[in-house]
Structure 1
């Protein structure tokens, strides 16, 4: 069989098979590098306070890079548009958020979580204090968070009770809101309103998962590379077996050749 492998025809086919295998190996390496790149965490400075309109625009979904970013914005509170959000954890303890309606100086609307209370009674008392406000421009600093989806209360609770900060639901109860610009997210105030505790707002964790689809493709290309060499070996082996069989027939004096 070694003599067969050394024939020019099969040497040339081996070179072709190795070239094809090398191409497959390069494609596999490229797929693997893509999988690794997708799993690399790109650090971003979320704690640097940036103007809100620099990281996200109203009337559209925010980019992932905007989620968790500390922002600043000027605008006005809309007194009387405070809502309670139940089942919010603060330091591992469940309680209530008080969420206000804020209009930026550019006229866009956004929800702002003003603070946390351990029980509904305390949250309602704080909300009453906030509902007596004046239209004075203020500078708001806090962490921007992507909007949450509306959820129906569970366990037979009041159907009007909110458990998520969902602008899609809030705009239906905000006073005087029609079709103005709105941010699909909210701000967690860096300071707490009177009667409320500051909401825990830790630095967001960067979570990047390895792209297993690219890893699977890389393994596929490796299999293809191995198959190219195996196919060459199989063809050589078949050729050797065919010649040996033909030689055996000739030695037996059979004039007929194999098909």
Structure 2
């Protein structure tokens, strides 16, 4: 009954199922491992951030380039602030115990002893970077040579939250904190990194360091989890379709073995021929009826002519009746004379 499994069609179905199911399971397991790696990395990053706050600051050059390990570490640099190149980074959200508030970063370039400049986010202020009343609250940077300490951060990119990569900002504002966006603003080399101060000047508020790219539970991490479910669903769908096709062909084979399959019936063909003959006979009857109607019309025309021919005889009868009436009148007159 299962000989249909040896047909070329079922050979193709079986080969596809044998290859597709393990592939879907492998891809689902791989996506799940990617999600688990991101969860582990997120936990490690949180642990490193907690340790970095308590650890002593290290020189900036010893932590470069910024990676997942050095991101968030406390770095120190010595130099003097370039007051002519203080910039505001608009539309930045600060999350704290008060919730999410909209404001702007205050960024000043620090000319280090090595000649290169380090972007330093001195703090965050609530308000609008375009409003003079809000920008007037920005304190002036310290003068002279200073040593700054803060959490080391990698340069931002277009995928970073709050970044305005489209440009069109007023003079004195910056949409993305990176060496690439500062190359046309600063007349000197800039580090491909920046720091956020842990202890800013009042009324500036500290900007918490962000998790390194690819180490947090962001949208990509949950995409991996969604892809995991999709691949396992695909594997289950292949099994379901294989079983459904197998059951359909098995039932058809069992019915054929029991002789339950419908076969062509000669009586149906005969009935069809009889129906065709009935149609032909009906057409012939219709033609005969049409001829009868034509003959009836001809008989009606002949009757009408007979009626017209009898009309003079009716007129003669009317004249005879008038003669009889006149004779009767004459007899009555003769009787009166007698």
Q: Give the whole-Å Cα distance in 1 for the aligned partners of 2:106 and 2:61.
A: 24
Deviations 1:151-204 (A, max 9, x none): 546xxxx72252634333333222x32xx4631x432111214x4423241675
Contact 1:67–1:145 (CA under 8 A) maintained in structure 2: no
Note if 1:237 corresponds to 2:251: yes
Q: Give the whole-Å Cα distance in 2 for the aligned partners of 1:24 and 1:69.
A: 44
Secondary structure of the corresponding residue to residue 206 of structure 1: coil
Deviations 1:111-154 (A, max 9, x none): 1101234521121xx23x43x333x6x3532242542444546x
- The two structures have a TM-score, normalised by structure 2, of 0.51
* Structure 1 residue 82: Cα displacement: 2.0
Q: Give the whole-Å Cα distance in 1 for the aligned partners of 2:196 and 2:119.
A: 9
Q: Give the whole-Å Cα distance in 1 for the aligned partners of 2:262 and 2:103.
A: 90
Contact 1:144–1:186 (CA under 8 A) maintained in structure 2: yes
* Uncovered stretches (5+) of structure 2, i.e. residues with no partner: 127-133, 157-162, 267-338
Cα distance 1:246–1:201, how it changes in 2: closer, same or farther (>3 A)? closer
Q: Give the whole-Å Cα distance in 2 for the aligned partners of 1:199 and 1:10.
A: 73
Note if 1:228 corresponds to 2:245: no
Quick check: which one's strand share is greater?
1
Note if 1:209 corresponds to 2:222: yes
Contact 1:78–1:101 (CA under 8 A) maintained in structure 2: yes
C-alpha RMSD of matched pairs (Å):
4.2
Q: Give the whole-Å Cα distance in 1 for the aligned partners of 2:79 and 2:172.
A: 26
Cα distance 1:221–1:54, how it changes in 2: closer, same or farther (>3 A)? farther
Aligned pairs, number: 224
Residue of structure 2 equivalent to 1:182: 191
* Uncovered stretches (5+) of structure 1, i.e. residues with no partner: 253-259
* 1:81-96 matched pairs, under 5 angstroms: 81-90=85-94, 92-96=100-104
Q: RCO greater where, 1 or 2, for CA within 8 Å and sep 6 or more? A: 1
Secondary structure of the corresponding residue to residue 137 of structure 2: helix
Q: Give the whole-Å Cα distance in 2 for the aligned partners of 1:23 and 1:186.
A: 50
- The two structures have a TM-score, normalised by structure 1, of 0.63
Which of 92, 96, 106 is 1:98 aligned to?
106
Q: Give the whole-Å Cα distance in 2 for the aligned partners of 1:247 and 1:99.
A: 83
